[in-house]
Amino acid sequence: MDQMKDLQKLIKLTGDRAKLDAKANETYIVYKTNEGEMVREYNDGLIIPVTGQGDPDA
């Protein structure tokens, strides 16, 4: 089987699992967008950039 496709599938499954865990624990996930920006995504779909400066959760 194609290793790149397998790796992409595992990455997607890991992200999906992180979203489920965040929902169950009423928290958020952090990831890097295609534009290279780090963001926090909450259960309700709210996406907030992570600045790292003065950010209480950073």
Q: What is the mean pLDDT of the chain?
A: 89
When pLDDT is averaged across residues 15-22 and rounded to a whole number, the result is: 94
pLDDT above 70 (res 56) = no
Average pLDDT over residues 3-17: 94
Average of per-residue pLDDT across 33-57: 86
The Cα–Cα gap between 55 and 25 comes to 21
Please report whether residue 50 resides in a domain: yes
pLDDT over 60 at 58, yes or no:
no
Kindly tell me if the per-residue pLDDT of 54 is higher than 90: no
Structural domain count of the chain: 1
Tell whether 46 is covered by a domain. yes
Rounded to whole angstroms, how far apart are CA atoms 50 and 32? Answer: 10
19 within a domain of the structure (yes/no) = no
Domain span at residue 40 reads: 27-58
According to the model, what pLDDT value does residue 1 have? 59
